[in-house]
Copies of this chain bind each other. A is one copy, B any other.
Amino acid sequence: MRISDLDTPAIVVDLDRVEANIERLQCYLDEHGIANRPHIKTHKVPALARRQVVAGAVGISCQKVSEAAVMADAGFDDIFLPYNIVGASKLGQLVCLARRVRLKVTADSAYTVRGYADAAARADLELPILVEFDSGGHRCGVQTPGEAAELARLIAASPALRFGGLMTFPHSAEGDAFVRATKGLLKSEGITVDCVSYGGTPTMWTAHERTEVTEYRAGTYVFGDRAVFASGAMTLDQIALHVIATVVSSPTRDRGILDAGSKTFSSDLMGLEGNGLILEYPEARFYGMSEEHGHVDFGACPRKPEIGERVTVIPNHVCPVVNLFDEITGVRDGQVAQTYHVAARGRVR
């Protein structure tokens, strides 16, 4: 079966490229003595996470407890949750998981730490907790080294918890300074910062410039997307995932409508113009999307597509695209090699 036999829209993954992408980052992190802990949110497929671990990853990162449970069921035994797990239901699932696998988790507040402490104590566990700090992502994370040190002390003082280090996303020289300042505050108390976990695909090749990093989390690097290409971190021929779509309408000379819209591509723009790059028509421009239609202006293209023609699109942001599909088709040399069930799709909790 060839790619051209697949019904559209379909997502196809070039397995040679996937393997090269996995190998490339692993070699780079090995060379610089940084542990690799890839984020599986990009592919959500146990078999692809297995390739990452076989290549040398120390474990995996998952964003939600339910996502981690899928991976634990698939045999992964070293999982980091870079997320504040809050509420009785999820804390119950968390301790179940911590009984099965080596698990570390994240906190940026005393509230979250207390939840972990109670749940771990009741389950008679010792749970490692990393403190998240805000390095400019303006999302989660304590704001000052003083707050980070205070949380580290609270964790270290909880019998059922262990202070596991610091984590942030994205990474920067300011992040390194934050880590050093926190270490300085904790040194006299004998609290060590054993793990410093940074992340991100666009900035992965500058991880070695960070003086404090010990572990790196990248997700998108396994497939790549238009945003990563735009960042310069991957070349076009390293991008492993493509959406195959069909032109189903061409109401004007310049307008072509694809059978793939936001239900395929998501609406994530990632700060870019248009919703994707069409490889056969690089001058084409997505001027809009509805759920089931991609609206493309082919005006700048020397040749216009015919109705029924198939096109190959690099999406702006690959992670939500995978989350919209039940299956990924793995290909080698244009031939369908394997179908992967997206086992951790839709795990929102």
Contacts and interface: CB of A to CB of B under 8 A. Distances in A.
A293 interface: yes
B8 A349 contact: yes
Nearest to A294: B139
Q: What is the copy number of this chain in the assembly? A: 2
A257 B320 CA distance: 20
B268 A143 contact: no
Contacts of A264: 348
Contacts of A267: 266-269, 320
A246 B142 contact: no
Interface stretch (A12-20, A85-93, A203-211, A328-336): A85-93
A295 B349 contact: no
Contact of A251 (B41, B134, B326): B134
Interface stretch (A25-33, A72-80, A106-114): A106-114
A150 interface: no
Interface in A231-288: 246-252, 255, 257, 259-260, 262-264, 266-269, 287-288
Contacts of A255: 138
Contact of A262 (B111, B306, B320): B320
A266 B269 CA distance: 12
A107 to B, nearest CB: 9
Nearest to A250: B109
B266 A262 contact: yes
Nearest to A169: B290
Interface string A300-335: 000000111000000000011001111000000000
A99 B72 CA distance: 45
A174 interface: no
A41 B248 CA distance: 19
Contacts of A250: 109
A308 B249 CA distance: 49
Given A63-B291, A83-B292, A115-B308, 19 more contacts: A7-B87, A7-B90, A41-B291, A84-B248, A86-B246, A87-B308, A112-B248, A138-B288, A140-B249, A143-B251, A262-B268, A262-B320, A263-B320, A263-B323, A264-B348, A266-B266, A266-B267, A267-B267, A267-B320
9 contacts: A9-B349, A109-B249, A111-B306, A138-B295, A139-B288, A262-B266, A263-B320, A266-B267, A291-B323
Interface of A: 7-9, 41, 63-64, 83-87, 89-90, 108-109, 111-112, 115, 134, 138-143, 246-252, 255, 257, 259-260, 262-264, 266-269, 287-288, 290-293, 295, 306-308, 319-320, 323-326, 346, 348-349
7 nearest A-B residue pairs (beta carbon):
A267-B267, A140-B249, A111-B307, A7-B89, A84-B248, A86-B248, A63-B292
